[in-house]
Amino acid sequence: MISRIVAGALLLWMLGFAWFAIAMPGPADDRTTDAIVVLTGGPGRIQRGLHLLERNKAKRMLVSGADRRVRPAEFAEAYGAPLKLVDCCVDLGNEAVDTRSNADETVEWVTRHHYRSVRLVTTDWHMRRARFELSRVLGGNVLLLADAVPSEPGLGVLFTEYHKYLLRRVAAPLGI
């Protein structure tokens, strides 16, 4: 009996991991949102957010988890963005150090600006957990559009992220 339970749990875990690795979220459609939130930490994320901002797909962009030492002029130069765009429309959030604090920093920013729709930009392998954390703190009042930047993560990255995601799905309802 116990061996069947263990075998069943192992099968569920394996199927879940296969789903997680194969069916990663993709880029979102071209719709406009009030704001864009980019979580730092992966290639192509900030570039994707700036591209959308330049195309007027949002009024403003938060870069959550930016280094405290980075100034708008340095940011603009590093990403080839017009300084005028960065000065008017990009906020460099430097309070976040992980995905949970990204969510906290984001909800504070969204609330302060009274936004009703937000495009979340992060890497495909990170999107499920990031969206879960952000949805949890935003509640149902704000539309959250997931816009994943495609990548080619290794098995180790997928394995680690899958377990972080599972852990958060279990821990969050317990208040942990």
Residues 22-44: pLDDT tens digits?
999 999 999 999 999 999 999 99
The answer to whether residue 155 is domain-embedded is yes
Would you say 49 and 61 are in contact if contact means Cβ atoms under 8 Å apart?
yes
Residue 142: domain span: 30-174
The answer to whether residue 12 is domain-embedded is no
Residue-level pLDDT at 118: 98
The answer to whether residue 1 is domain-embedded is no
Type and span of the H or E element at 77: helix 72-79
- CATH number of domain containing 119: 3.40.50.620
Residue-level pLDDT at 176: 85
Task: Say whether 148 sits in a helix, a strand or coil.
Answer: strand
The answer to whether residue 15 is domain-embedded is no
The answer to whether residue 133 is domain-embedded is yes
Residue-level pLDDT at 50: 98
Q: Is the pLDDT of residue 58 over 90?
A: yes
Residues 1-25: pLDDT tens digits?
899 999 999 999 999 999 999 999 9
CA distance 65 to 82: 21
Residue 90, token pair as written in the block:
């990009």
The answer to whether residue 13 is domain-embedded is no
Residue 126, token pair as written in the block:
């990170």
The answer to whether residue 23 is domain-embedded is no
Q: Give the chain's domain count.
A: 1
Taking alpha carbons only, the member of 128, 134, 133, 126 closest to residue 36 is 134
The answer to whether residue 10 is domain-embedded is no
